[in-house]
Structure 1
Amino acid sequence: MHYMRRKRSGTTGSAGYTRRPGRTVAERVYPRLITNPETGCWEWTGALRNGYGAVGIGKSVHYVHRWVYVQHVGPIPTDYVIDHLCCNRRCANPEHLEAVTDETNKARGGHAHGTRKETAR
């Protein structure tokens, strides 16, 4: 088994996930986003962390929706969070994301088991 791992990744290390060298973050992210025709959400089909899409970049794990937001909209202001206007944590559609303060996000009421706000799509 470790011989196959070495052949694929160049190492016999047993890190849970071995990346294929040479792939950009975009080449790893976009194929795992599937558009939901009913909602327009770009739903992440890869790994999740706290219900949000997650991808390894370098030696750290980043939320997919934040990465996509930066690529399509621009930098996230300091002390801001990304609010999912569609209430779907797996969504990375930049049209469904908005940079807001944590207070605004909490006031909008992102509830895990209930209704959300009037502005939800």
Structure 2
Amino acid sequence: MILAHGIGALRGLGLAALCAATLAACTPADQDRLTRDAARAAITPVLVQRFPGVPLEPALECIIQNATARELLALAADSLTGPTANTVELVNSIVSRPDTLTCLLANGLPALL
């Protein structure tokens, strides 16, 4: 059991190192796109669980557009391990911002409010 956990942790570290190396080899625009795509992967299960039936794409875009660079990187990191309580807290924080709320309303998503 401990060995299996250790191997899983090593795989996670290897995946993280591979991702970091891949990002380092990309242009800034590619890095941004990859980070945002990874962040979407972490945000999606949170939205599905907390707001079932809400159209995902518009909600994802509003959250991504209103997240800071640091938040996007944290969410992207969460995509490697799966969403945690911190992921949920971060998504809730971004959703509660006035600019995010305005975006959600403009896209017809009052269910998140």
| The two structures share one fold, judged by TM-score above 0.5 | no
Structure with larger RCO (C-alpha < 8 A, sep 6+): 2
TM-score when normalising by structure 1: 0.28
TM-score when normalising by structure 2: 0.29
The structure with the largest alpha-carbon Rg is 1
Higher helix share: 2
